[in-house]
Homo-oligomer: A and B are copies of this chain.
């Protein structure tokens, strides 16, 4: 199975697409730009959701659900938001079909035209802040800490499974606060939650920073982001957290009576991650043999395969395996025992390697006699023979070790693919011949950023939160700069 698609070096884009399809994660649907998330892919999303949802609740948030439809006029209320979001979107204009009088199926019933068109939410700030107006009267109603798990639609012209699709699944947090300080603290807290998740569950290191004005969310005062590096040297924005100031409160007239009995506008944040993270997960770790999944997000963490010739041998192996399986499951480890006789062991080895199961155990009659088991790890493809005694603890440690190794490998990759450029030629050469993150000086103007983008296709991925002050000259204009920012070509 691993042989009939290109390697990463041959064609990274094709490698990614083929891997997603052949590993049964997702496929394109009959509807242009929309994907079907297949059970194998959805199981990864469920694991991501469970971990994130717990982190959101542990930081005091609750879930709710708002309508998928947004009245068209809502978008016009926040000036920069309408520019960013009310353009490429799905528009509902009618609410009924009728039989075609010519007998050819069904047609739109022109009598059922909506007075005002409804937009399928591309993001929910507008409908949510229109609702918050009714929920917030006093400082006692604040903070309001709400998250929504939902589908959203952005009519993208060029789509790519998981990374950019017309419809995608995500969560969007929308919080309301009495002060700017509190809202900024929330924005930063959620950035840290995302960084924690991406680094410790996805095993992908991230840079934390803020976006330049050009790359800011439409309607935000400040957009915080985490940026990850993929194996082809391109950057991927893995999550954003926005400080929205009072923009939406003013657009939707959301005011509260403060402790000092003054009427004030509410301060807002919003933050989100999406099924795009599944794309990032694949691109960061997988290899030419197929998927590589970090144990914490692998739907199946351990697969056990028996080697046998006779039914008696299988029975003896199965007895031992069921005991191991039970003990592993008691530790919260998900285990699949594949004793099907319709497939040969070699086929199974390839299958689970391709699907990215982190640990494989193989047991044959001789292992039973010797009290051993063959253990393979997917990340390094190494094999070893383990004693069966206390195998559960050994497997538990191995899973931890794989999780850590994947992170370390990705971190090493990022470090060796992060460069400094001090001249324009160096900058272009790095982008064209090495890729990765390029730290360079920028004069701080949107015009310069735009010109760099047009000339090189590289954008400012972020202004790192931990950037050290350093006097320098802008890579393009030579104008003075006080710190380096992170450039890259990006997904």
Interface residue SS majority, chain A: mixed
Choice from B46, B66, B73, B97 contacting A63 with Cβ under 8 Å? B46
Choice from B82, B93, B131 contacting A105 with Cβ under 8 Å? B82
Interface-lining segment among A29-37, A189-197, A311-319:
A29-37
- Distance from A78 Cβ to chain B, minimum over Cβ atoms (Å): 11
- Distance from A472 Cβ to chain B, minimum over Cβ atoms (Å): 40
- Distance from A482 Cβ to chain B, minimum over Cβ atoms (Å): 38
Q: Which residues of B contact A97 (CB under 8 A)?
A: 72, 75, 86-87, 89, 91, 119
Q: Tell me, in angstroms, the Cα distance from A73 to B29 when the chains sit together.
A: 15
Copies of this chain assembled into the complex: 2
A388 at interface by CB-CB < 8 Å: no
Choice from B68, B140, B146 contacting A153 with Cβ under 8 Å? B68
Known: A73-B105, A92-B90, A108-B91. A42 touches B29 (CB 8 A): no
Choice from B76, B106, B127, B169 contacting A29 with Cβ under 8 Å? B127
**Which residue of chain B has its CB nearest to the CB of A134?**
B27
List which A37-90 residues lie within 8 A (CB) of chain B. Answer: 37-39, 42-43, 45-46, 62-76, 82, 86-90
Q: Which residues of B contact A34 (CB under 8 A)?
A: 67-69
Q: Which residues of B contact A119 (CB under 8 A)?
A: 97
A336 at interface by CB-CB < 8 Å: no
Known: A63-B39, A96-B155. A106 touches B118 (CB 8 A): no
A167 at interface by CB-CB < 8 Å: yes
Q: Which residues of B contact A117 (CB under 8 A)?
A: 108
Q: Tell me, in angstroms, the Cα distance from A42 to B150 when the chains sit together.
A: 13
A337 at interface by CB-CB < 8 Å: no
A339 at interface by CB-CB < 8 Å: no
- Distance from A98 Cβ to chain B, minimum over Cβ atoms (Å): 7
A94 at interface by CB-CB < 8 Å: yes
- Distance from A290 Cβ to chain B, minimum over Cβ atoms (Å): 20
A120 at interface by CB-CB < 8 Å: yes
Known: A43-B62, A106-B82, A108-B93. A31 touches B72 (CB 8 A): no
**Which residue of chain B has its CB nearest to the CB of A342?**
B140
**Which residue of chain B has its CB nearest to the CB of A37?**
B65
User: Does A106 lie within 8 Å of B39, measured CB to CB?
Assistant: no
User: Does A29 lie within 8 Å of B66, measured CB to CB?
Assistant: yes
Q: Tell me, in angstroms, the Cα distance from A88 to B95 when the chains sit together.
A: 6
**Which residue of chain B has its CB nearest to the CB of A133?**
B30
A215 at interface by CB-CB < 8 Å: no
**Which residue of chain B has its CB nearest to the CB of A75?**
B106
- Distance from A167 Cβ to chain B, minimum over Cβ atoms (Å): 6
User: Does A69 lie within 8 Å of B90, measured CB to CB?
Assistant: yes
Q: Tell me, in angstroms, the Cα distance from A63 to B169 when the chains sit together.
A: 14
User: Does A86 lie within 8 Å of B106, measured CB to CB?
Assistant: yes
Q: Which residues of B contact A118 (CB under 8 A)?
A: 31, 90
**Which residue of chain B has its CB nearest to the CB of A117?**
B108
Choice from B64, B82, B92, B150 contacting A120 with Cβ under 8 Å? B92
**Which residue of chain B has its CB nearest to the CB of A130?**
B30
Q: Which residues of B contact A38 (CB under 8 A)?
A: 64
- Distance from A54 Cβ to chain B, minimum over Cβ atoms (Å): 12
**Which residue of chain B has its CB nearest to the CB of A93?**
B93
A7 at interface by CB-CB < 8 Å: no
Q: Tell me, in angstroms, the Cα distance from A70 to B90 when the chains sit together.
A: 13
- Distance from A92 Cβ to chain B, minimum over Cβ atoms (Å): 5
Q: Which residues of B contact A65 (CB under 8 A)?
A: 36-37, 42, 45, 169
Choice from B75, B140, B167 contacting A68 with Cβ under 8 Å? B167
Q: Which residues of B contact A71 (CB under 8 A)?
A: 30-31
Q: Tell me, in angstroms, the Cα distance from A131 to B87 when the chains sit together.
A: 30
Q: Which residues of B contact A74 (CB under 8 A)?
A: 30
**Which residue of chain B has its CB nearest to the CB of A45?**
B65
| A and B contact pairs by CB, cutoff 8 A, 28 listed | A29-B67, A29-B127, A29-B131, A30-B71, A30-B127, A31-B69, A34-B69, A35-B67, A36-B131, A42-B63, A43-B63, A67-B167, A68-B120, A68-B153, A68-B167, A72-B105, A75-B106, A86-B97, A87-B96, A88-B95, A89-B97, A90-B118, A91-B93, A92-B92, A92-B120, A93-B93, A93-B94, A95-B155
Closest 10 CB pairs of A and B: A76-B105, A34-B67, A39-B62, A37-B65, A91-B94, A95-B155, A31-B69, A93-B93, A90-B92, A31-B67
